[in-house]
Amino acid sequence: MFAAAQDQSVTPSAPLAKPDAPRHPSLRAPLDLLFLLCCVLLTADVLVPEVFGSGKTKDYLLWFWAGQQVLQGEPLYPATAVEYFDFIYPPLPAIMLAIPSWFGKIPLYVVLSILNAVAWWYAGTFSQVMTGSGHSPGRWLEALPAVVTVPFVFDMFDLGQPNLVLLAMMLYGFWSLRHQRPWLAGFMFALAAAIKVFPIAVLPYLVWRRKWTAAAATVAFAGVLLYVVPAPIRGFERNAAELKIWYQGMVGTSSEKGFGQRDEQNWSWVNQSLIAVTHRLVRPINYNQDDPKKPPRTMNIIDVDYRTANWIVLALSALLGLGFLAVMPRQARRTERSDAEELAILFCLITVASPLARQYYFMWLFFPMTVLMHRAAFDERAKVRLGTWLALGASGLLMLLALPWFPHVLQACGNNLLATAVLAGTLAWHIRHPPVAAGSEPATALKAGTP
Nearest-angstrom CA–CA distance, 192 and 330: 29
Is the confidence at residue 336, as pLDDT, over 70?
Answer: yes
- DSSP for 268-333? STT--SHHHHHHHHHS---TTTT-TTSPP----SS---HHHHHHHHHHHHHHHHHHHHHHSPPGGG
pLDDT band at 261 (very low <50, low <70, confident <90, very high): low
Q: What confidence tens digit (pLDDT) does each residue in 11-33 have?
A: 333 333 345 677 888 888 888 89
Please give the Cα distance from 284 to 261 (Å, whole number).
21
Q: What would the 3-class secondary structure string for 339-384 be?
A: HHHHHHHHHHHHHHHCCCCCHHHHHHHHHHHHHHHHHHHHCCCHHH
Q: What is the mean pLDDT of the chain?
A: 88
How high is the pLDDT of residue 226?
93
Averaged pLDDT, 140-158:
92
Residues 6+ away with beta carbon under 8 Å from 339? 132, 178, 443, 444, 445, 446, 447
* Per-domain boundaries in the chain: 2-6+27-440
Q: How sure is the predictor about 440, in pLDDT bands with cuts at 50, 70 and 90?
A: very low
Q: Three-state SS for 180?
A: coil
Count H helices, E strands: the chain? 22, 2
Model pLDDT for residues 357-406, shown as the tens digit of each residue: 999 999 999 999 999 999 999 999 999 999 999 999 999 999 999 998 89
Express each pLDDT in 111-129 by its tens digit.
Answer: 999 999 999 999 999 999 9
Say what the pLDDT of residue 419 is: 96
| Mean pLDDT, range 311-330, rounded to an integer | 94
Please give the average per-residue pLDDT across 421-436, as a whole number.
Answer: 94
**For residue 67, is pLDDT > 80?**
yes
Global confidence as pTM = 0.89
Residue 78, phi then psi, degrees to nearest 5: -70, 175
Rg (the chain; Cα; Å): 22
